[in-house]
Copies of this chain bind each other. A is one copy, B any other.
Amino acid sequence: MKGEKTVPKTDYTIEPGKQDITSTVVLDAPRELVFKAYTDPKLFARWWGPSRYVNDIDKFDARSGGEWRVVQRGADGSEHAFRGVNHTVDAPERICQTFEYEPMAGHVALQTATFEELGNKTRITAQIVFQSVMDRDGMVASGMKSGADESMERLQDLLDTLKSGK
């Protein structure tokens, strides 16, 4: 039926007083494809962050030891730059990297995504650990959840497109 599609549901664990956020989501696509969408810059640019921004990939060395930097550009000229380094990129299971929003320079987080096969689906468990509870709570207050939910919806749409070979 036209318009019928799976909308992924992300669950968040955000305990009071802790420094981390853990989220889990199951996407309807094989793990290799999901991993590719995380590590191929052209694909990554198509789903990461809110759709009102265009992702401009400045650096994207998707290897252990590689750097990444992405600028989200809005139609109104607004820019949001993020950067980090990849501690581990272990295909197709795990990515562990640092994360910094450049206007908040000095506030760095460590994020780890693990990819598990569930038949033809993939469970992504993502953890972000912050330097302080305040940093963590600030990220939550900034609307992180709705941004992440939208990313996962866009990612599922992209995966559907890739699966259909379009």
Contacts and interface: CB of A to CB of B under 8 A. Distances in A.
Interface in A57-100: 64-65, 67, 84-88, 94, 96, 98, 100
Nearest to A18: B19
A51 B30 CA distance: 49
A156 interface: no
A124 to B, nearest CB: 16
Given A20-B131, A129-B130, A108 B94 contact: no
A122 interface: no
A115 to B, nearest CB: 14
Contacts of A131: 20, 110, 112, 127, 129
A119 interface: no
B67 A96 contact: no
Contacts of A85: 64-65, 85-87, 98
A88 B96 CA distance: 16
A103 interface: no
B87 A106 contact: no
A111 to B, nearest CB: 10
A130 B20 CA distance: 10
Nearest to A93: B106
A20 to B, nearest CB: 7
A88 B108 contact: yes
Contacts of A18: 19
Contact of A87 (B64, B98, B130): B98
9 contacts: A20-B131, A64-B85, A85-B86, A85-B87, A85-B98, A87-B98, A87-B108, A98-B98, A110-B110
